[in-house]
Chain A
């Protein structure tokens, strides 16, 4: 987008499960892997804890992208939590797309505790994709009247 300020950096909200993806993010830090400082991580006990409302509210309150990250299917600390996550977000991803939200803005990734490099790579890639789309205006509102 030509109108986007070159200095603009996206704001990504990342919901990371405590047992895998949060540890994966930690590993990326410990391993001093570099990735863009665009993500704000919110630690959740399980990706299954992430209510669709969390995702939509993040967009509403100003996120340019939302990442939900959890253990690989089959590796959930609670055995089956992320299987439910998968169904829920496969559906919501399509519904968001149907409402006109660009698919790149909402992503779900499976990142294990050992995959520090994957975490860095996911954030880098998501940042690039959203950078190309520009700031998110869709769904956004709540702070001024009749936005």
Chain B
């Protein structure tokens, strides 16, 4: 375990060779953006938009094309080789990236662009001292102030930041930087205390036990009608979800040149499953809302062996009509179990 004064953070950011993403004040909250010399924001809780866009950009070129006389030339788009540092992401978002790894890196298909970015990215997790009322990470087995998959785990002790590397590449990086000193025993015990106390600050609970089996048996339950009635079918929940990863592929062109790109898509949109002949297997919001919840709580466990939700609470905060996955789970347990 090592330590660094928080006032020395700009020196640390400057010493990191690559793109350094930190929480930057943006609109009504924070988002992850490039560090441009600004001081560390002490009131940072979590970013509105999760840092998944750094690994999986909302819009990403696949190739470009242009007319050359009668022929069309196609140019591949290279994924930047540059190293990225995501500094200050929270344990829930780190866990979410591990879940994205299961989809993009560890499944039968490896997504080249994601894989390349992921290899070159350091996840430097800042443990949460305390949750906000919408946090329920502990329900999914997470620890609010520790991320097992992080390259670094960090804890804010007021004046200093204590760092513990979690991976070999994280350790190598930490050892290569001269800005740190060894953490004192006092600091180490403070970290232990912080980790322990943080757990108690997560007050929201989502009943996960047996939920997958319950949902498997209740695909056509009337509860789906009831809970979906108020949904407005916007994409706020999916776009702000750190584990949602659906995308569409489209192209655009002008004056003989253009590009093929992929862009985030949302299962809440009416076009999402629309077929070329006009048929839509998910014709109404009942099916769309069901799909979103089932993906997190049934399909992800079935396909990847893990829940697809990390309890970050973004959908609870940002849904214009307060759709609440924890409430749904409790309701399902009560109503569907009968």
Contact = CB atoms under 8 A, between A and B. Distances in A.
Given A145-B59, A145-B60, A145-B61, A62 B261 contact: no
A146 B258 CA distance: 14
Contacts of A142: 252, 254
A137 interface: no
A145 B64 CA distance: 10
Interface in A57-108: 61-62
21 contacts: A61-B254, A61-B255, A62-B254, A62-B255, A142-B252, A142-B254, A143-B252, A143-B253, A143-B254, A143-B257, A143-B258, A143-B259, A144-B61, A144-B259, A145-B57, A145-B59, A145-B60, A145-B61, A145-B259, A145-B261, A146-B59
Say which size band chain B's interface belongs to: 10 to 19
The A interface, classified by DSSP as helix, strand, loop or mixed, is: loop
A146 B261 CA distance: 11
B158 to A, nearest CB: 38
A143 B255 CA distance: 10
The 7 closest A-B pairs by CB, nearest first: A61-B254, A145-B61, A142-B252, A143-B254, A145-B59, A62-B254, A143-B258
A144 B253 CA distance: 9
A45 to B, nearest CB: 25
A77 B19 CA distance: 60
Contacts of B59: 145-146
B273 to A, nearest CB: 26
A125 to B, nearest CB: 26
Contacts of B252: 142-143
Contacts of B255: 61-62
Most buried by B among A61, A62, A144: A144
Interface in B49-65: 57, 59-61
Contacts, number: 21
Contacts of B259: 143-145
Interface residues of A, number: 7
A144 B77 CA distance: 11
B26 to A, nearest CB: 16
Nearest to B66: A143
Contacts of A61: 254-255
Interface string A118-147: 000000000000000000000000111110
B298 to A, nearest CB: 35
A56 to B, nearest CB: 14
Interface in B243-270: 252-255, 257-259, 261
A145 B79 CA distance: 13
A146 B33 CA distance: 14
A144 B59 CA distance: 10
A61 B254 CA distance: 6
A143 B253 CA distance: 6
Which of B59, B252, B261 has the most CB atoms of chain A within a 10 A radius of its CB?
B252
Nearest to B255: A62
B31 to A, nearest CB: 14
Given A62-B255, A142-B254, A143-B259, 7 more contacts: A61-B254, A62-B254, A142-B252, A143-B258, A144-B61, A145-B57, A146-B59
Nearest to A11: B255
A145 B257 CA distance: 13
Contacts of B257: 143
B62 to A, nearest CB: 10
Nearest to B77: A145
B251 to A, nearest CB: 10
A61 B258 CA distance: 11
A61 B61 CA distance: 18
A22 to B, nearest CB: 24
A61 B253 CA distance: 9
A120 B59 CA distance: 43
B61 to A, nearest CB: 5
Nearest to A143: B254
A142 B254 CA distance: 8
A71 B287 CA distance: 51
Nearest to B259: A143
A142 B253 CA distance: 7
B163 to A, nearest CB: 32
A142 to B, nearest CB: 5
Contacts of A146: 59
Of the candidates B60, B254, B255, B257, the one having the most CB atoms from chain A within 10 angstroms of its own CB is: B254
